[in-house]
Structure 1
Amino acid sequence: MFSSALLGQSPKQEGKTYVWPIASNQLLSSTFGEYREGHFHAGFDIRTFGRTGIPCLAVNEGYVARLKISPQGYGKALYLKLDDGNTAVYAHLSDFNRKCDSVAYYWRLERETSYCDIKISDSLYRCSPGETICYSGRSGTSAAHLHFELRDQQERPFNPGFVYGVPDKVSPIIMSLEVVPLKDGSLVNGYPVQRDFYFDA
C-alpha cells in the first residue's frame, strides 16, 4: 500500500497548483517515505528554525473537516478537505485560527476534557487558497516544525513533492539491507532467519 502511494500516485497529482502550506521557506528537515521506527514518514517536515506561531495556509479551496488535539502523535492537528478530493494535514501546531480555536474550545468545555477529535460539517468553515487556518508549533513533539501531509480520496498519503516539486539535491546513501524470509521454509543464505547486510558509506 505504501509503495503504491510512494510510486503510483504521481500521474494523478502532478500539475495541481497548491499554495505552499506555510508563510515561510521551502526548506525541509524530513521528506516523504523516510523510514521511522515501525512506520514510514507520511509527509514533509518543513523547517521553522525553532520558531513557533508561523501562519499556516490553506493550500487550495476546501473546508476544515477535522480538528484534533492530543498530548502525543500529531499533537494539535488540522485536516483540510480539498474540493479536488484530496486532504491536507497540518500537524504539531501551536494554535488554530480564531474560528477553529473557538470550535475546539467549546467542544472541550462541554465535555470537560483537554483533548478532542472533532469531525466538522462541510458547511461550517470553507477556506480560500492562502487563508491562514492555523499556526506552526511543536505540540506532540520536541522540535518546532510543520508536519504536512497530502492524502488522496481514499485517505492514502502521497508524496507532496508530486505537487510542489521541492528540489532534493541530496542523494540517498544505502547503509544497510535487511533480508527477511518470506514464509516458512524460506532461507536467507541457507538459514531460516533474517539477515542484515551493512555497506560502507
Structure 2
Amino acid sequence: MGVSSPAHQLSARAKATRQRILDAALVEFAEKGMAGSRVDEIAARAGANKRMLYAYFGSKEELWLTVLEQAYAAKRAEERELSVDSLPPAEAMASLVAFNLRYTSRHPEFVALLNQENLHRAAYLQRSEHVPALYSPMLAALTTVLRRGAAAGVFRDGVDAMQLYISILALGHFYVANRHTLSTIFGTKLDTEAAIAAREAHIADVVLGFLRP
C-alpha cells in the first residue's frame, strides 16, 4: 500500500501538516495501539481535522502502516551512520551492541509499535511496499565484523549473523519493553543511565563470551 498523496507532491504547508499528523499518530499508537487509538484524538493532537487526515492517509490502518514504516526508517537511518570498520572486532561488536540498546532505550515508542504489530502478526507490515528498504544496515555491519573477527582468530567460525543479530535485539528489546515490571519486581529503577550502562556492559559480555574461539 502507500500514502494516498506522496509527500514529495505536497506543498511545504501540507508536508508540515502531514508530519504533524504522523508525529501525533506515533504518540497515540505507541500509547494505545492501533485498535485503541481514535482518529479524532490523533487529528486533535496534530491540530488538524479528520478530513485532512483521511485525505493524506486514506484510513487509520494506512496511517498505522505509514507510522510503522517511518519508525523503521528512522532507526535504519541512524544505523547507516554507524562506523565500526576501523575498530578492532571486539570493540566493533561492543559498539553494535551499545547502539541497539541505546537506540531502543531512547525510543520506547519503537518497541511499543513493534509489540503491537506482532500482536497483528505483522498483517500491516506485510502490505508495505517498502519492506526491502527496512533491511537493517546493522545486520550487514554485524556480518562484516564477524568475518573480520574470525579471520583475526578472536571470534569463532560459523556464527549465524542473523541469529546473533536477533539475540542482540532481544537482549535490548526485552529489557526496554519490560522495564516497568522488572523495576517493580526487583525494587530498583532500570531506566536510569547507570542501569542502562550496566545492561550495556552485560550484553556486551554475553555476546563477546559467546563469540570466543
TM range (shorter): under 0.3
Higher share in strand:
1
Scaled by the length of structure 1, the TM-score of the pair is: 0.22
